[in-house]
Structure 1
Amino acid sequence: MINIFARYTVFQKITPPTDETAFLNFAKSLRSDIIHQGIANAEPQNQPKAFVKNESTYRYYAEAGKWPQGFLVTGDAVCSFNPIYGQGMTAALLAAESLAKSAAHGNSDNTAWVKNAQRNIVQAYRSPWTISTNEDLRWPATEGPKTGVALRTMHKFSNLIGIAAAHNQHVAYTYIQVLHMTATPAALLTPLMLARILKSGLRKKSRL
């Protein structure tokens, strides 16, 4: 028997309307009206279409129990993201790199190697999964664990990063690198970056 541990989160269960007037009203209802400002006076080229695929799925293969020799899983079969984040292909590449590194130190004839290689593939998705789904968990309609000191702390820190990034170009650039996966989240935790985030974030937050 193969033991599979899966975690699911679902983004807001809201589908934007597809008629022009209702779509404009929907855009205006967002937290920021910048999108509404950009399209309010634009002439549509065709009828709006709604994209309804909005779930993210992460399967913890080979965490426990037996794993079949010579069988590996990667790509969307391990982890698939809400496409709004644009992380799927990059995350799949990280998993492929993990497999290539494992292949340099073993082969599929070794049962222990196969299981360890599968665990490494799963682990390669951990960082982008944390970045995207922890933000999803802010929303009431999202399915998933919404409690815990770690999650609340992460949300508060993310709030500070967002505020600081709007006023400090160094924070903004690093934050974009992390979101685009050209830098790891650790880039936001260096002493200098933490000082910039706390200085800008707390100061601007106190003025809100």
Structure 2
Amino acid sequence: MNSSETAPARGTAVVIGGGLAGVVAAWALRGRAERIVVVERDRYPDAPAFRAGVPQGRHAHLVLEAGHRALEELMPGIKQELTDAGAHRVSTSGDLRWLSSAGWMADYPARLAFLSCTRPVLDKVVLDRVRTEPSIEFLEGTDVVGLLGSAQRVTGVKVRERGRERGDVQDRGDVQGRGEVREIPAELVIDAAGRSTSVPKWLGELGRPVPEERVDAGVAYASRLFHRPPGVDLGHQAVYLQTKAPDKPRMGVLLPVEGDRWIVSLAGMRGAEPAPGTEGFTEHLSRLRDPALAEMLRGAEPAGEVRGFLPGPGVRRHYERGAPDGLVAVGDAASTFNPVYGQGITVSLFCAQVLRRTAARHGGVGPATARDARREIAAVSKTAWMMSSAEDVRFAATTGGPSGALIRLQHRYLDKVLRGATHNPEITAAFHEVLSLVAPPTRLFHPAVVAAVLRG
């Protein structure tokens, strides 16, 4: 056994943000830090409920196959707990009807699947597991208002309690006063504050700006929950109507969730965004490339209001190119993707695996752990960023992102792959493996796949 595996835990790790990325990061560090503090601006509800601090939580979520493998490795038995909480297992073939830009995907004996539930259920099941670890403590209703240390080394955070809410659990903006600022020294600070993180701004003020890439397809979402009609049997559980660049920039997805309901998310790229409210939702639904989703909803009763969401640009922050010692960013704080590709949660789980590996390698949460973690997080998020940004730039209104002859060549080959996937199960299986992040993009260049693509 490696000596680091038996080394006593020492030091403090602070996690900024108690969403999914933050709590799994905290869990990954158990046994490697004597004290792990998760600072969360919301107060957690007693039962699964949507939170203002997770604005994307009302929209369709899934954990890709690679993410489920990572989560099960981090938390053995968690997949069964999610199933017990109402999550549905959806096979990527048979259970899911997928309309790609080239047409309907061919069925094949699928080896891959994902679990589908609402985001509050996923968050609650994972949070309940993390709460069993005595070395992890939660500061709820608390903001991180700054970093301790210098441009060379982060040594902790400044926090301030937000006060108690006057409204219900879903209204986190309504607070009664604020507490005094206090400091929490730490050997390691994990930024898991998501898309709205303030850490890059604070580092810029210290004269240590974070290099970043941006791509913005201008995507906007509208989502609604529906009661599944009693006795309905459509022969499949879910449907995904993908965009087709550049002329059909609208997409829609229907997934089964707990409580015998469906969650339906519609999206459009810049210039084709869903209009607000029920009328806008219905109009966008009618303008999708295929009527399959609208037909599934015929006779389904709404189980909630239409909710909109503007994710903002995709951003990849290169902390591995230079950041203060003692700081690591994970999840959306490190890389945010266009949500239509479903990569965000899975990459957050990859980040947690990295933290566990690097902390074990170095026997704690010191500067060497942070440096290695930054490099490895950049590596495990690279494929997802390359795939999502390359697809985003297909749309004329997209700003930023990669360009040039190589990208055009990749687009042409992928178009051939997708055409082949409409009738060749071998190509479909390879494509699903890549999209599920269980295989690298080079899987599509395996000789057998290339031969099948060229025959097609």
TM bucket by the smaller chain?
0.7 to 0.9
Decide whether aligned partners of structure 1 residues 33 and 7 sit closer, same or farther in structure 2, where only a CA change above 3 A counts: farther
Q: 2:215 aligned to 9, 12, 19, which one?
A: 9
C-alpha distance in 1 between matches for 2:357 and 2:308: 40
**Larger strand percent:** 2
What letter is aligned with 1:148? G
- Structure 1 match to 2:413: 157
Decide whether aligned partners of structure 1 residues 48 and 187 sit closer, same or farther in structure 2, where only a CA change above 3 A counts: same
**Larger helix percent:** 1
CA RMSD, Structure 1 to Structure 2 (Å): 2.5
- Structure 2 match to 1:75: 331
C-alpha distance in 2 between matches for 1:54 and 1:199: 40
Does the Cα contact within 8 Å between 1:3 and 1:61 map onto a contact in 2? no
Q: 2:321 aligned to 21, 40, 63, which one?
A: 63
Between 1:1-10 and 1:26-35, the stretch displaced more is 26-35
- Structure 2 match to 1:204: none
Decide whether aligned partners of structure 1 residues 187 and 101 sit closer, same or farther in structure 2, where only a CA change above 3 A counts: same
C-alpha distance in 2 between matches for 1:157 and 1:86: 22
Structure 1 segment 1-208 matched on structure 2, within 5 A: 1-11=207-217, 12-13=269-270, 14-18=272-276, 23-36=281-294, 38-39=296-297, 41-42=298-299, 45=302, 48-64=306-322, 67-106=323-362, 107-110=364-367, 114-145=370-401, 147-200=403-456
Decide whether aligned partners of structure 1 residues 68 and 51 sit closer, same or farther in structure 2, where only a CA change above 3 A counts: closer
Decide whether aligned partners of structure 1 residues 21 and 153 sit closer, same or farther in structure 2, where only a CA change above 3 A counts: same
Q: Secondary structure at the match of 1:62?
A: helix
What letter is aligned with 1:105? R
Does the Cα contact within 8 Å between 1:138 and 1:146 map onto a contact in 2? no
Cα drift, residue 190 of structure 1:
0.9
Cα drift, residue 98 of structure 1:
2.2
Flag structure 2 segments of 5+ consecutive residues without an equivalent: 1-206, 218-268
Does the Cα contact within 8 Å between 1:164 and 1:171 map onto a contact in 2? yes
Cα drift, residue 35 of structure 1:
3.7
Cα drift, residue 110 of structure 1:
4.2
Does the Cα contact within 8 Å between 2:417 and 2:427 map onto a contact in 1? yes
Decide whether aligned partners of structure 1 residues 42 and 159 sit closer, same or farther in structure 2, where only a CA change above 3 A counts: farther
Q: Secondary structure at the match of 2:327?
A: coil
C-alpha distance in 1 between matches for 2:411 and 2:288: 19
Question: Larger Cα Rg: Structure 1 or Structure 2?
Answer: 2
Cα drift, residue 10 of structure 1:
1.4
Does the Cα contact within 8 Å between 1:74 and 1:121 map onto a contact in 2? yes
Q: Deviations over 1:125-152 (max 9, x none)?
A: 0011111121111001111145311111
Decide whether aligned partners of structure 1 residues 43 and 192 sit closer, same or farther in structure 2, where only a CA change above 3 A counts: same
What letter is aligned with 2:393? L
Cα drift, residue 20 of structure 1:
5.4
Q: Tell me the number of residue pairs that the alignment of Structure 1 and Structure 2 aligns.
A: 196
